[in-house]
């Protein structure tokens, strides 16, 4: 899940979070059960259609969030081409794009508080065994919230590099990006500690 709730209202915004998350789980299981490239291409086209239905603005924002997948797509395809198994690489890439796209669609149409309510409900049986589930709920919320934040910071680092050099940033921004991520993690930890921790 790589996006926050979209301000563009769709019909899916009114659907229960549990139903959407359950449908996402079933769709992901189906994606991993099917191996034929033609079906994976059909599923990917269906996912793109779901983005197109609410309108151009929603589609632009939603698909823009998927741009972060291109390095993984390039690496997977390159590896499978070198190992002479391009068809398997294509299946993996289509499956990944579709699965992440559907997950992104769910987060774009679901409030974070509603998703956390589902996580809390699912974790109810664990509380009977004395497991403190608040940490799990907070971890899920932080992942969903900070993924787009870190993506935006990575893009800013790339732009800053491009303004200073003609070379592509590539691996050169890995270290500053890591430092930024650790710095953010420390700030969040201090904020949690100041509020009583977990």
Q: Would you state the structure tokens that stand for residue 122, as one six-digit string?
A: 């699912």
Name residues whose C-beta falls within 8 Å of residue 125's C-beta, 6 or more positions apart in sequence. none
Q: Would you state the structure tokens that stand for residue 71, as one six-digit string?
A: 């390095």
For the chain, 198 residues long, the average pLDDT of each consecutive 10-residue run is 66 88 94 92 94 89 84 88 89 94 90 83 82 77 76 82 79 82 84 77
Domains: count for the chain: 2
Looking at the fold, whether 11 and 81 belong to one and the same domain comes out as yes
Looking at the fold, whether 15 and 99 belong to one and the same domain comes out as yes
Looking at the fold, whether 63 and 159 belong to one and the same domain comes out as no
Read off the DSSP letter of residue 5. Answer: P
Domain of 58? 1-115
pLDDT attached to residue 19: 92
Read off the DSSP letter of residue 4. Answer: P
In the listed set 115, 147, 178, which residue is the last one of a domain according to the structure?
115
Looking at the fold, whether 12 and 110 belong to one and the same domain comes out as yes
pLDDT attached to residue 47: 94
Looking at the fold, whether 85 and 179 belong to one and the same domain comes out as no
Helix (H, G, I), strand (E, B) or coil at 168: coil
pLDDT attached to residue 198: 62
Looking at the fold, whether 79 and 27 belong to one and the same domain comes out as yes
The helix (run of H) or strand (run of E) holding residue 197 is none
pLDDT attached to residue 159: 83
pLDDT attached to residue 1: 44
Spacing of C-alpha 177 from chain mean position = 18
111 in Cβ contact with 6 (< 8 Å): no
Name residues whose C-beta falls within 8 Å of residue 2's C-beta, 6 or more positions apart in sequence. 65, 66, 68, 100, 103, 104, 107, 147, 148, 151
pLDDT attached to residue 103: 92
Q: How far apart are CA 121 and CA 171, in angstroms?
A: 41
User: Alpha helices, DSSP H only, in the chain?
Assistant: 17-33, 37-52, 56-65, 70-82, 86-108, 112-122, 124-127, 134-164, 174-194
Pick the closest to residue 177 from 169, 187, 189 (CA basis).
Answer: 169
Looking at the fold, whether 109 and 54 belong to one and the same domain comes out as yes
Q: Is the pTM of this model over 0.85?
A: no
In the listed set 45, 80, 115, which residue is the last one of a domain according to the structure?
115
């Amino acid at each position: 899940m790589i996006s926050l709730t979209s301000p563009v209202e769709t019909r899916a915004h009114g659907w229960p979070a549990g139903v959407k998350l359950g449908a996402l789980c079933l769709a992901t299981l189906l994606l991993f059960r099917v191996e034929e490239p033609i079906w994976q291409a059909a599923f990917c086209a269906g996912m793109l259609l779901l983005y197109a239905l609410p309108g151009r603005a929603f589609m632009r924002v939603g698909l823009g969030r998927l741009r972060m997948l291109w390095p993984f797509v390039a690496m997977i395809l390159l590896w499978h081409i070198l190992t002479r198994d391009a068809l398997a690489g294509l299946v993996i890439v289509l499956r990944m794009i579709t699965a992440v796209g559907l997950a992104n669609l769910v987060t774009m149409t679901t409030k974070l508080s509603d998703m956390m309510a589902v996580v809390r409900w699912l974790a109810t049986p664990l509380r009977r065994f004395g497991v403190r589930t608040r940490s799990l709920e907070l971890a899920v919320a932080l992942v969903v919230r900070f993924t787009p934040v870190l993506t935006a910071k990575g893009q800013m680092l790339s732009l800053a590099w491009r303004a200073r050099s003609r070379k592509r940033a590539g691996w050169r921004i890995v270290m500053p990006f890591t430092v930024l991520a650790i710095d953010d993690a420390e700030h969040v930890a201090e904020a949690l500690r100041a509020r009583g921790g977990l």
